[in-house]
Amino acid sequence: MKWITAGKSAVVVFILSSSYCIAQLAGSPAQKKELPPELSLTLTAGPLDLRGVPTEIHLAIENISDHPLRMPEPHFGCGSALTGYLDLLTGFIPAGQESVGEGVGTGCAACGGIPPDPMEVIKEWKTLDPGGRLEVKANPIARIDTKRRGTYSITVSYGPPQLPDNFRKTLESREIAYPTQNASSNTLTFTVDQ
């Protein structure tokens, strides 16, 4: 984890990411033309503890395209080239201070070999029809130290599967669409006064 501070103020931003591993497996992405969005991410707070801190966050991933999408279920802080990933971006501004720095941490990375048969892999993927949703829950307290007074923020970004060429060609030849674009959620903000 790296911390950067200036003066008396500090903000801490943690990124729990497996993006590096995914980029290594998939190679560099080809230039693509601007496409209409495929997914919408909506982040909501679950139950709150006595200090008003969410004990759970809920992420709704909705297909906003005009066609069905096959989608592996992504997990917070852990992903692979075949599943995509969810990055949990958190920020903290200590009480009475302003944002001037950041810190970056990493989550797990599920790097591994690529199975040879794309059709076997996608058997476990969910089909999201237009308007269909996939719900993912996480416990942010397991990832964020909320013992200090101040304002906390949580945002989630989604990175789609980065499939090898043989996977993409197989899915395209069978007219199976899957997410190909990054997406970000709204930001949840809460303040701890005690």
Residues in Cβ contact with 47 at an 8 Å cutoff, skipping those fewer than 6 apart: 54, 55, 56
Residue 61 has pLDDT above 90, yes or no: yes
- Residue 120's pLDDT band, with cuts at 50, 70 and 90, is confident
The mean pLDDT of 32-50, rounded to a whole number, is: 86
More confidently predicted of 152 and 62: 62
Per-domain residue ranges for the chain?
11-24+36-192
